[in-house]
Amino acid sequence: MTRVRNTALAIVPTLFLAVFFLYPVATLIGRGLGSDIGRLGEVVTGGRFLRIIWFTLWQAFASTVLTVALAAPLTWAVANRRFPGRRLVRVLVTVPFVLPTVVVGGAWIALADRLGLADGSIRIRHTVWAILLAHAFFNIAVIVRSVGGYWSRLDRRPEEAARTLGARPWQVFVEVTFPRIRTALLSAVSIVFLFSFTSFAIILLLGGPRRSTLETEIFRWAVTRTDISTAAALSVVQMIAVAALVLLNTRLQGRGARQTLIGDRAIAIRDGRDRLAVIAALAGSALFLGLPLALLLERSLTTGEGAWTLENYRGLAERVRLLPISGTDALLNSLSFAVAAAGIALIIGGLASLAIVHGGRFTSRLLDLGMLLPIGTSAVTLGFGVLIALDRGVLDLRGSWWIVPVTQSLIAIPFVVRSVVPVLRSIDPRMREAAATLGAPPRRVRREIDLRIGARALATGVGFAFAISLGEFGATSFVGRRSDLLTVPLAIERLLGTPGQLLRGQAMALSVVLMVVTALVVLIGDRLHPDGGGVL
């Protein structure tokens, strides 16, 4: 009976996933393969599309290499040395990762404007370097928190033994440390590659018309050219590549010997040379991550002539050219959608987490994989699938307000599941057995033990779900095209895409507002997490 109750927990999450994710994706695949199979052949073999596919792969690879190189010093410092503000550093490095991608694009545009690199003989916008740097800025947290968190909890005795035997520092790292962190590093690298491969807003804002990837081409063919057949064919090609990347990540996580994690094993700073290395790592990372955001703030507070003013922020209450509603109304839309999406993620992700932990082995593994599938699926593909599939009968959501938060929740739910499941699995089974022996029914056991222990992790996951939904751009660019559904990321993209200092200043002001709200949510969520970590 208990097994039946636990399996029943999976019904609602499974139905939600089937209706709002699997059905739209299957519809999109059917449209791409069934309606015009010849078009799919043209996409795969056409010279122009092959160049787009090649650039998508090439920029993702280069972005990944650059991210690892820039993240390495900070990862070493956070994982191996104790210093004042160490936990705060781990929190702050996460902020760029959860920032809306249009804000990241806006920050690098502000940097280009401020340094005079957007015009003239030197141009950073619409170059590959702009894309690579923005991707590294966005993804550094994946390396620092995933690899650094794993590295900091490894037993240090093997390294100490190697040093005692006379090994030099580089030999200790190459022959002892690297083999032990290799699995975590390769897993994080595959995630960075996946995020860069499916990047949308950064390519759209910084790449320009000559720097197209599969993601931006799907958007242009579907929305700008209204060629659904070509867009669907491109989506199929992209989904095949993304599926291969997700499978690779899963295999990497399962490879290699499991290391014993025994808590934070970072040591105190040893000497002046050690202190200098930590300071250099922190200063370099602060410059790279902080400068674009600082210039974004400065640009939002100045006019085209360089005078300081709050006019850009005051103008958010008024409707401006190119926007159907004011910036304030767009912000209210974004907050409303994020609250609704986080609520859906709370219910579906919470039930799924319980089912994953308490269900049968087959149900648990299948649901665990299913709940994580949306995070490995292109947001543009997801939004496109929802748009063309949910358009008839009781599933006709095209004209409904709920189409936006439902779509955003699909991307947010994995963050709830990844936050809650490890905490629930860490509960000693003897606690539940003792409660059951004392006569507590299964419902009370879950309420008094699972819910109490997992509440903070659940709050963290919901906070991340709220932040992700608040800045979601790729899927919303399809389902939120109606004027009254305009969100802040869509408004920023429209303003940044149009020449004019006034419009750009208001875009920067909107970006700063969204950045502040997102950062506050991340800070609160990190404080609530049991181990001070998070979902990364």
**Is the model's pLDDT at 153 over the cut of 90?**
no
Instruction: Give residue 192's identity as a one-letter amino acid code.
Output: V
| Distance in Å from the first CA to the final CA of the chain | 36
pLDDT tens track for 502-517: 677 888 888 888 888 8
pLDDT bin (cut points 50, 70, 90) of residue 526 is: low
With respect to residue 503, please indicate whether it lies within any of the assigned structural domains.
yes
With respect to residue 208, please indicate whether it lies within any of the assigned structural domains.
no
pLDDT tens track for 256-314: 445 555 556 677 787 788 889 889 999 999 999 988 888 888 888 887 666 788 888 88
On the CB side of 65, CA atoms within 13 Å amount to 6
Determine the Cα angle at 287 with ends 281 and 290, to 5°.
120
Q: At which residue do the structure tokens 């899963």 appear? A: 250
Poorest-pLDDT segment among 313-322, 340-349, 418-427, 433-442: 433-442
With respect to residue 403, please indicate whether it lies within any of the assigned structural domains.
yes
Let me know how long the chain is: 536
Average pLDDT over residues 73-96: 85
Average pLDDT over residues 16-25: 90
**Is the model's pLDDT at 347 over the cut of 80?**
yes
The more confident residue out of 520 and 404 is: 404
Residues 154 and 150: their CA atoms lie apart, in Å, by 7
Which residues, including other chains, have CB under 8 Å from residue 288's CB and lie 6 or more apart?
A: 70, 136, 137, 140
268: three-class secondary structure by DSSP: strand
With respect to residue 339, please indicate whether it lies within any of the assigned structural domains.
yes
With respect to residue 31, please indicate whether it lies within any of the assigned structural domains.
no
Residues 495 and 39: their CA atoms lie apart, in Å, by 34
* Residue 463: CATH number of its domain: 1.10.3720.10
| Residues in a beta bridge with 268 | 82
Q: Decide if 134 contacts 108 (C-beta within 8 A).
A: yes
**Is the model's pLDDT at 534 over the cut of 80?**
no
pLDDT score for 253: 56
pLDDT tens track for 437-469: 767 676 676 666 777 777 777 888 888 889 888
Mean pLDDT highest for which of 10-24, 32-46, 83-97? 10-24
pLDDT score for 441: 72
The more confident residue out of 363 and 331 is: 331
Give me the chain's average pLDDT, please. 79
**Is the model's pLDDT at 121 over the cut of 50?**
no
With respect to residue 485, please indicate whether it lies within any of the assigned structural domains.
yes
Residues 221 and 384: their CA atoms lie apart, in Å, by 11
Poorest-pLDDT segment among 70-84, 160-174, 214-228, 508-522: 214-228
pTM of the predicted protein model = 0.79
**Helix (H), strand (E) counts: the chain:** 28, 2
Residues 390 and 397: their CA atoms lie apart, in Å, by 6
pLDDT score for 199: 86
pLDDT tens track for 243-259: 777 666 666 655 544 55
Residue 168: count other Cβ atoms within 10 Å of its Cβ: 10
438: three-class secondary structure by DSSP: coil
How many domains are contained in the chain?
1
Residue by residue, what is the 3-state secondary structure of 340-378? Answer: HHHHHHHHHHHHHHHHHHHCCHHHHHHHHHHHHHHHHCC
**Is the model's pLDDT at 391 over the cut of 90?**
no
The first and second tokens of residue 536, run together, are 């990364």
Domain that holds residue 334: 1-25+310-536
pLDDT score for 446: 67
With respect to residue 59, please indicate whether it lies within any of the assigned structural domains.
no
pLDDT bin (cut points 50, 70, 90) of residue 535 is: low
Poorest-pLDDT segment among 380-394, 427-441, 510-524: 427-441
**Is the model's pLDDT at 531 over the cut of 60?**
no
pLDDT score for 42: 67
Phi-psi region of 261 (alpha: psi -120 to 50; beta: other; left: phi over 0): beta
Q: What are phi and psi of 33, to 5 degrees?
A: -95, -30
The more confident residue out of 2 and 316 is: 316
With respect to residue 130, please indicate whether it lies within any of the assigned structural domains.
no
pLDDT score for 66: 96
Q: Quick one: which of 185, 207, 244 has its CA closest to 56?
A: 207
Integer angstrom CA distances of residue 378 from 4, 36, 63:
35, 22, 17
Q: What are phi and psi of 82, to 5 degrees?
A: -90, 130
Q: Decide if 463 contacts 345 (C-beta within 8 A).
A: no
